[in-house]
Structure 1
Amino acid sequence: MQGKTIVLDPGHGGKDVGSTGGNGTYEKDVTLRTALNVRNKLVQQGANVVMTRDADTTISLGARTAVAQTENADLFISIHFDAFQTSDVYGMTMFYNKPQDEGIAQKIHDQIFKSDMNTKDRGVRFGDYHVIRENTKPAVLLELGYISNKNEEARMQTDAFQEQISTAIASGVENSLR
């Protein structure tokens, strides 16, 4: 990972709380915690990691993608937790926008599900999200669970989940940049 630059984008922040779980969990808080944990793992592997935000601040979608360009990123990863109208939906989905980024999303997906996340595999899919669509650098968006599902909302806040997911993402990043 020496010489590789990864931009981590914790979704939402500041005025934009993202989705809110049934117990009041804000997506912006969990995305930041997860991204900071992933950053620590990648830095330990020798990567240069740049965060689009490392505190509870509002950052525009355009500014987020600009960071990848400015830093000449080898990879841009946007971290999110999904939500649905009903609380029975659960699982994780990895999104890409450009065909050449599908393999990166697949490698991160494979590492996550190799580590038995005990959730539904919602697959690797095309996503029309600004931060990956408008990005000139390789980019993926990860939906790491449903904050609208009470079990997943509780789990995403545990140290065990944070350790497991950040380790899996870091391994997936390493595999995709080899």
Structure 2
Amino acid sequence: MAVPGQPLEGKTIVIDPGHGGKHPGSIGQLGTMERDMTLQMAKEIEQELLERTGATVLLTRKQDETVDLQQRVDMAAEASADLFLSIHFDAFTTRDVEGMTTYHKDSHDQPIAQAVHNRLMEKNFDTRDRGVRVGDYYVLRENTVPALLLELGYISNEKDETRMRSLQFHKEASQAIVEGVIDYFHKR
């Protein structure tokens, strides 16, 4: 049972910094590597969760290392996680596409996806709201626990890339994500 100030006591959340090691992910115009940004953001979310919620928090990787997709999914299953959050920064072939998208695997995960996405959009990051969508990504499709994949901007867009390099953005986005998770679990 949650105690005051510990709204997620007893919950386990797995945070998955996308890519890593031999899989750098996308690389921005300014040279930003997705694998580095996802790890930085995941650590910020971890810290926010630990400080505010009482949840047990696990990271699929804590440094720049290669972790295969099945290992990431297995970690969530073995921990009987209440939520799996995969952190990414999107890319496109043209530089004009921008925005944030929250993906989930099916209708069961839509409410938590919407709660997290709503909080992100409330922050007014001056980016396009690309919505909440069903995604056919391995870490969503193969997960046995509720799972979200967050695309927190387009690394291929200079405005989004500049924002994602900001420590202030990492702090504010982390707060928004944690607030969305708390919102969801409090409604259940």
Bin for the TM-score computed over the shorter chain: over 0.9
**Aligned: 1:43 with 2:50:** yes
CA offset digits 1:115-151 (Å, max 9, x no partner) = 2121100000010000010000000100000000011
Identity %: 50
Q: CA separation in 1, counterparts of 2:172 and 2:120? A: 8
How far apart are 1:171 and its partner, in Å?
Answer: 0.5
SS of aligned partner of 2:133: strand
Q: Which runs of 4+ in 1 moved over 4 A?
A: none
Alignment TM-score, normalising by the size of structure 2: 0.93
Q: Which of 13, 26, 30 is residue 19 of structure 1 equivalent to?
A: 26
Map of 1:107 onto structure 2: 115
**Aligned: 1:142 with 2:150:** yes
Map of 1:154 onto structure 2: 162
How far apart are 1:82 and its partner, in Å?
Answer: 0.1
Counterparts in 2 of 1:1-178, with a 5 A limit? Answer: 1-44=8-51, 45-178=53-186
How far apart are 1:154 and its partner, in Å?
Answer: 1.2
One-letter identity of the residue aligned with 1:167: Q
**Unpaired runs of at least 5, structure 1:** none
Count of residues in Structure 1 that have an aligned counterpart in Structure 2: 178
